[in-house]
Amino acid sequence: MNRRIVGAFATVVLGAGLIAGIGTYVSAAKADTTILDATPAGTLETPQGTLKHFTMDLSIYPDSFFKTSSPHPDWVSYGPSTNFRVPAHSAITFTMKQYDSGEPITNDFFARVAGTMNGTINIDGKDVTKVDANTIGHTFTVRGLSNGKSNLFINVPMPMVPEDKMSENEGEYINPTIVKFTIITGDAGEYVWNCEFPCGDGTLARFGGPMSSQGFMSGHFIVTDN
């Protein structure tokens, strides 16, 4: 009798412990656990008044040799992280260094700029509202759950670098296209971003590989209150 109660109890505890252990392992086993925080940069005049200003610098690489240990060194990747944290109700200026080549995009909707301040982005010094759909390198496309909170949608297409201006050497990155834009964040929440240019070569619809795996062409975009 007693043995049975103790035994049943122990089984439950052991079982729950096993599940907790596996859960902890799985939740920690993320290919990219880093989160990049926006850097404070004073205030900025925006159409919505004066807002706190932050900056964030990102790069898009044609391979992932820049990572110390990438399971797929030949996959394209964002860097230095694929998870970003920015403050709510602020202006964030992104500077993207795009090092990769490109091709025509499958859906030219994503060649148009959306959701940035003034509806423009700045490419190598020029303000534009769209990019030639035949020469896209990657896009930076952010959205969240449609849940009545501010419905964030950002799409920033980034032109390609011509093949002949890229380095022959793996892990060496030169001549980026520099894309600058500012967004104004809404309420805090969990959003996600991914690249809408199909850059998973050799996979169906070129959306497998780096496009569908954690830590390369997608990630979390966290808007926080503090």
Q: Which residues are near another protein by CB under 8 A?
A: 4, 7-8, 10-12, 14-16, 18-19, 22-23, 26-27, 29-31, 106-107, 109-110, 112, 114, 141, 143-148, 151, 153, 155, 189-192, 194, 196, 198, 201-205, 207-209, 211-214, 218, 220
Task: Give the nearest distance from C-beta 146 to Cu ion in angstroms.
Answer: 13
CA of residue 66 relative to chain centroid, distance? 17
Q: Which partner from the list Cu ion, another protein, none does 199 bind, CB cut-off 5 to 8 Å by kind? A: Cu ion
Q: Does 199 bind Cu ion (CB under 5 A)?
A: yes
Count of chain residues binding Cu ion (CB under 5 A): 5
CA-wise closest residue to 52 among 101, 99, 97, 93: 93
Piece of the chain touching Cu ion by CB under 5 A; list 83-91, 109-117, 176-184, 187-195:
187-195
Q: Does 138 bind Cu ion (CB under 5 A)?
A: yes
Structure tokens at 52: 């706190």
**16 vs 178 by CB, closer to another protein:** 16
- Strand (E) positions, the chain? 36-37, 39-46, 49-61, 77-79, 84-87, 91-98, 121-123, 126-128, 136-144, 153-159, 177-184, 189-194, 218-224
Contacts 24+ apart (CB under 8 A), 146-151: 147/189, 149/186, 149/187, 149/189, 150/186, 150/187, 150/189
Q: Half-sphere exposure of 119 toward its Cβ, with a 13 Å CA cutoff? A: 3
- CA dihedral sign, ordered 195, 200, 206, 209: negative
Q: Does 217 bind Cu ion (CB under 5 A)?
A: yes
Q: Does 91 bind Cu ion (CB under 5 A)?
A: no
Q: Which partner from the list Cu ion, another protein, none does 8 bind, CB cut-off 5 to 8 Å by kind? A: another protein
**19 vs 178 by CB, closer to another protein:** 19
Piece of the chain touching Cu ion by CB under 5 A; list 39-47, 121-129, 185-193, 194-202:
194-202
Q: Does 58 bind Cu ion (CB under 5 A)?
A: no
CA-wise closest residue to 198 among 108, 129, 116, 113: 108
Contact residues for Cu ion (CB under 5 A)? 138, 195, 197, 199, 217
